[in-house]
Chains A and B, each alone.
Chain A
Amino acid sequence: AQKITQTQPGMFVQEKEAVTLDCTYDTSDQSYGLFWYKQPSSGEMIFLIYQGSYDEQNATEGRYSLNFQKARKSANLVISASQLGDSAMYFCAMREADNTDKLIFGTGTRLQVFP
Protein backbone atom coordinates (compact mmCIF):
# COMPACT_ATOMS: atom_id res chain seq x y z
CA ALA A 1 0.00 0.00 0.00
CA GLN A 2 1.13 3.51 -0.69
CA LYS A 3 2.14 5.62 2.27
CA ILE A 4 3.44 9.10 3.04
CA THR A 5 5.53 9.72 6.16
CA GLN A 6 6.28 13.08 7.69
CA THR A 7 8.44 12.56 10.75
CA GLN A 8 8.61 16.15 11.99
CA PRO A 9 5.48 17.09 13.97
CA GLY A 10 6.82 20.60 14.46
CA MET A 11 9.63 22.79 13.19
CA PHE A 12 10.89 26.22 14.16
CA VAL A 13 12.80 28.57 11.90
CA GLN A 14 13.94 32.13 12.20
CA GLU A 15 12.69 34.67 9.72
CA LYS A 16 14.81 34.90 6.56
CA GLU A 17 16.40 31.50 7.15
CA ALA A 18 15.80 28.41 5.03
CA VAL A 19 14.00 25.36 6.35
CA THR A 20 13.57 21.80 5.09
CA LEU A 21 10.44 19.80 5.79
CA ASP A 22 10.90 16.07 5.39
CA CYS A 23 8.69 13.69 3.45
CA THR A 24 9.28 10.07 2.53
CA TYR A 25 6.94 7.91 0.54
CA ASP A 26 6.39 4.28 -0.21
CA THR A 27 5.03 3.01 -3.49
CA SER A 28 5.63 0.21 -5.93
CA ASP A 29 4.32 2.28 -8.84
CA GLN A 30 6.70 3.72 -11.40
CA SER A 31 4.44 6.64 -12.22
CA TYR A 32 3.26 8.89 -9.40
CA GLY A 33 3.03 12.50 -8.40
CA LEU A 34 4.10 14.25 -5.21
CA PHE A 35 2.56 17.40 -3.82
CA TRP A 36 3.03 19.84 -0.99
CA TYR A 37 0.14 21.78 0.46
CA LYS A 38 0.10 24.56 3.05
CA GLN A 39 -2.71 24.84 5.57
CA PRO A 40 -2.69 28.13 7.51
CA SER A 41 -4.69 28.61 10.67
CA SER A 42 -7.66 29.75 8.58
CA GLY A 43 -7.91 26.16 7.39
CA GLU A 44 -7.81 26.22 3.61
CA MET A 45 -5.50 23.93 1.64
CA ILE A 46 -3.11 25.87 -0.57
CA PHE A 47 -1.20 24.06 -3.31
CA LEU A 48 2.52 24.85 -3.23
CA ILE A 49 4.45 22.57 -5.55
CA TYR A 50 4.26 19.39 -7.61
CA GLN A 51 6.87 16.82 -8.66
CA GLY A 52 6.23 14.05 -11.15
CA SER A 53 8.10 10.81 -10.73
CA TYR A 54 9.59 11.11 -14.21
CA ASP A 55 10.62 14.73 -13.84
CA GLU A 56 14.39 14.89 -13.94
CA GLN A 57 14.64 18.37 -12.51
CA ASN A 58 13.61 19.26 -8.99
CA ALA A 59 10.46 21.37 -8.99
CA THR A 60 10.70 25.00 -7.93
CA GLU A 61 8.02 27.62 -7.34
CA GLY A 62 9.33 30.92 -6.07
CA ARG A 63 10.69 30.38 -2.57
CA TYR A 64 9.61 26.74 -2.58
CA SER A 65 11.68 23.93 -3.99
CA LEU A 66 11.26 20.20 -3.80
CA ASN A 67 14.34 18.11 -3.11
CA PHE A 68 13.35 14.94 -4.94
CA GLN A 69 15.53 11.90 -4.29
CA LYS A 70 13.86 9.04 -6.09
CA ALA A 71 16.18 6.27 -4.93
CA ARG A 72 15.62 7.29 -1.31
CA LYS A 73 11.91 7.86 -1.92
CA SER A 74 12.07 11.27 -0.40
CA ALA A 75 10.46 14.54 -1.47
CA ASN A 76 11.53 17.19 1.00
CA LEU A 77 10.17 20.72 0.78
CA VAL A 78 12.69 23.53 1.08
CA ILE A 79 11.42 27.01 1.93
CA SER A 80 14.03 29.68 1.43
CA ALA A 81 14.02 33.08 3.13
CA SER A 82 11.24 32.17 5.56
CA GLN A 83 8.59 34.77 6.30
CA LEU A 84 6.28 35.10 9.28
CA GLY A 85 3.38 34.27 6.97
CA ASP A 86 4.89 30.87 6.29
CA SER A 87 3.79 29.71 9.76
CA ALA A 88 1.29 26.96 9.01
CA MET A 89 0.79 23.21 8.72
CA TYR A 90 2.48 21.65 5.71
CA PHE A 91 1.26 18.42 4.17
CA CYS A 92 3.07 16.16 1.75
CA ALA A 93 0.82 14.09 -0.50
CA MET A 94 1.11 11.49 -3.22
CA ARG A 95 -1.26 10.90 -6.07
CA GLU A 96 -2.13 7.25 -6.47
CA ALA A 97 -1.62 5.87 -9.96
CA ASP A 98 -4.67 3.63 -9.79
CA ASN A 99 -6.98 5.41 -12.24
CA THR A 100 -8.60 7.33 -9.40
CA ASP A 101 -5.80 9.87 -8.86
CA LYS A 102 -6.81 10.31 -5.25
CA LEU A 103 -4.28 11.86 -2.90
CA ILE A 104 -2.71 10.18 0.10
CA PHE A 105 -1.59 12.67 2.74
CA GLY A 106 1.03 12.59 5.45
CA THR A 107 0.26 13.69 8.98
CA GLY A 108 1.75 17.11 8.46
CA THR A 109 4.46 19.32 9.94
CA ARG A 110 3.61 22.46 11.86
CA LEU A 111 6.10 25.20 10.93
CA GLN A 112 6.53 28.22 13.14
CA VAL A 113 8.58 31.15 11.89
CA PHE A 114 9.84 33.50 14.57
CA PRO A 115 11.27 37.01 14.19
Chain B
Amino acid sequence: NAGVMQNPRHLVRRRGQEARLRCSPVKGHSHVYWYRQLPEEGLKFMVYLQKENIIDESGMPKERFSAEFPKEGPSILRIQQVVRGDSAAYFCASYRDGNTEAFFGQGTRLTVV
Protein backbone atom coordinates (compact mmCIF):
# COMPACT_ATOMS: atom_id res chain seq x y z
CA ASN B 1 0.00 0.00 0.00
CA ALA B 2 2.33 2.65 -1.31
CA GLY B 3 0.68 5.84 -0.12
CA VAL B 4 -3.05 5.93 -0.89
CA MET B 5 -4.47 7.88 2.02
CA GLN B 6 -8.09 7.65 3.03
CA ASN B 7 -9.76 9.56 5.78
CA PRO B 8 -11.42 9.20 8.05
CA ARG B 9 -10.71 5.56 8.86
CA HIS B 10 -13.99 5.28 10.73
CA LEU B 11 -17.09 7.41 10.30
CA VAL B 12 -20.34 7.22 12.20
CA ARG B 13 -23.39 9.02 10.86
CA ARG B 14 -27.02 9.12 11.87
CA ARG B 15 -29.64 8.27 9.31
CA GLY B 16 -30.30 11.26 7.09
CA GLN B 17 -26.89 12.88 7.57
CA GLU B 18 -24.24 13.31 4.91
CA ALA B 19 -21.02 11.32 4.72
CA ARG B 20 -17.89 12.62 3.00
CA LEU B 21 -15.06 10.20 2.36
CA ARG B 22 -11.70 11.44 1.16
CA CYS B 23 -9.00 9.75 -0.86
CA SER B 24 -5.57 11.08 -1.75
CA PRO B 25 -4.03 8.81 -4.41
CA VAL B 26 -0.37 7.95 -4.70
CA LYS B 27 1.55 10.96 -5.98
CA GLY B 28 1.62 10.84 -9.76
CA HIS B 29 -1.38 8.53 -10.06
CA SER B 30 -4.15 9.99 -12.17
CA HIS B 31 -6.65 7.14 -11.96
CA VAL B 32 -8.86 6.76 -8.90
CA TYR B 33 -11.41 4.05 -8.20
CA TRP B 34 -13.91 3.71 -5.39
CA TYR B 35 -15.12 0.31 -4.23
CA ARG B 36 -17.62 -0.69 -1.59
CA GLN B 37 -17.37 -3.77 0.60
CA LEU B 38 -20.46 -4.87 2.44
CA PRO B 39 -19.93 -7.10 5.51
CA GLU B 40 -18.68 -10.57 4.59
CA GLU B 41 -18.59 -9.74 0.87
CA GLY B 42 -16.01 -8.91 -1.77
CA LEU B 43 -15.37 -5.43 -3.07
CA LYS B 44 -17.77 -4.01 -5.64
CA PHE B 45 -16.78 -1.31 -8.10
CA MET B 46 -18.55 2.01 -7.71
CA VAL B 47 -16.88 4.71 -9.77
CA TYR B 48 -13.74 5.48 -11.78
CA LEU B 49 -12.40 8.99 -12.02
CA GLN B 50 -9.53 10.85 -13.57
CA LYS B 51 -8.68 14.43 -12.74
CA GLU B 52 -11.87 16.50 -13.13
CA ASN B 53 -13.63 13.69 -15.00
CA ILE B 54 -15.93 10.85 -14.10
CA ILE B 55 -15.04 8.06 -16.50
CA ASP B 56 -17.36 5.28 -15.32
CA GLU B 57 -19.98 5.51 -12.59
CA SER B 58 -21.87 2.38 -13.55
CA GLY B 59 -21.48 0.86 -10.09
CA MET B 60 -22.70 3.84 -8.14
CA PRO B 61 -26.32 4.16 -6.98
CA LYS B 62 -28.10 6.81 -9.01
CA GLU B 63 -29.39 8.67 -6.01
CA ARG B 64 -27.63 10.13 -2.98
CA PHE B 65 -24.14 9.13 -4.13
CA SER B 66 -21.69 11.37 -5.95
CA ALA B 67 -17.96 11.45 -6.52
CA GLU B 68 -15.41 13.95 -7.68
CA PHE B 69 -11.68 14.19 -8.28
CA PRO B 70 -10.83 17.86 -8.61
CA LYS B 71 -7.75 19.29 -10.23
CA GLU B 72 -6.36 20.05 -6.81
CA GLY B 73 -7.04 18.04 -3.69
CA PRO B 74 -8.33 14.62 -2.84
CA SER B 75 -11.08 12.61 -4.45
CA ILE B 76 -14.33 12.81 -2.52
CA LEU B 77 -17.10 10.25 -2.29
CA ARG B 78 -20.22 11.90 -0.96
CA ILE B 79 -23.27 10.09 0.35
CA GLN B 80 -26.28 12.23 1.12
CA GLN B 81 -29.09 11.27 3.49
CA VAL B 82 -27.37 8.08 4.58
CA VAL B 83 -29.40 4.98 5.38
CA ARG B 84 -28.43 1.90 7.37
CA GLY B 85 -27.77 -0.04 4.17
CA ASP B 86 -24.92 2.36 3.37
CA SER B 87 -22.94 0.91 6.27
CA ALA B 88 -19.89 -0.64 4.64
CA ALA B 89 -16.18 -0.26 4.08
CA TYR B 90 -15.35 2.10 1.24
CA PHE B 91 -12.01 1.64 -0.46
CA CYS B 92 -10.18 3.92 -2.79
CA ALA B 93 -7.55 2.62 -5.22
CA SER B 94 -5.21 4.41 -7.56
CA TYR B 95 -2.82 3.47 -10.26
CA ARG B 96 -0.68 5.00 -12.95
CA ASP B 97 -0.76 4.33 -16.65
CA GLY B 98 1.42 1.37 -17.51
CA ASN B 99 1.31 -0.14 -14.05
CA THR B 100 -0.28 -3.48 -13.37
CA GLU B 101 -0.93 -3.00 -9.67
CA ALA B 102 -3.68 -0.88 -8.19
CA PHE B 103 -2.76 0.46 -4.77
CA PHE B 104 -5.52 0.46 -2.20
CA GLY B 105 -6.04 2.76 0.72
CA GLN B 106 -6.89 1.39 4.14
CA GLY B 107 -10.57 2.08 3.65
CA THR B 108 -13.19 4.10 5.47
CA ARG B 109 -15.61 2.16 7.57
CA LEU B 110 -18.95 3.91 7.55
CA THR B 111 -21.49 3.02 10.19
CA VAL B 112 -24.97 4.46 9.97
CA VAL B 113 -26.89 4.44 13.24
Contact = CB atoms under 8 A, between A and B. Distances in A.
Given A43-B89, A44-B107, A45-B91, A102 B45 contact: yes
A50 B99 CA distance: 11
Contacts of B22: none
Nearest to A9: B40
A100 B55 contact: yes
Contacts of A52: 100
Interface in B78-113: 89, 91, 93, 95, 100-107, 109
Contacts of B43: 45, 91, 93, 103, 105
A101 interface: yes
Given A44-B1, A45-B91, A100 B103 contact: no
A46 interface: yes
Interface residues of A, number: 22
B56 A102 contact: yes
Classify chain B: how many residues form its interface, as a range: 20 to 34
Interface in B10-44: 31, 33, 35, 41-44
B69 interface: no
Contacts of B102: 35, 47, 101, 103
A23 to B, nearest CB: 11
Nearest to A4: B42
A100 B1 contact: no
A56 to B, nearest CB: 16
Contact of A102 (B33, B91, B106, B107): B33
Interface of B: 1, 31, 33, 35, 41-45, 48, 55-56, 59, 89, 91, 93, 95, 100-107, 109
Report, nearest first, the 10 A-B pairs whose CB atoms are least far apart. Answer: A105-B42, A45-B104, A44-B106, A102-B45, A100-B56, A105-B43, A107-B42, A50-B100, A100-B48, A47-B101
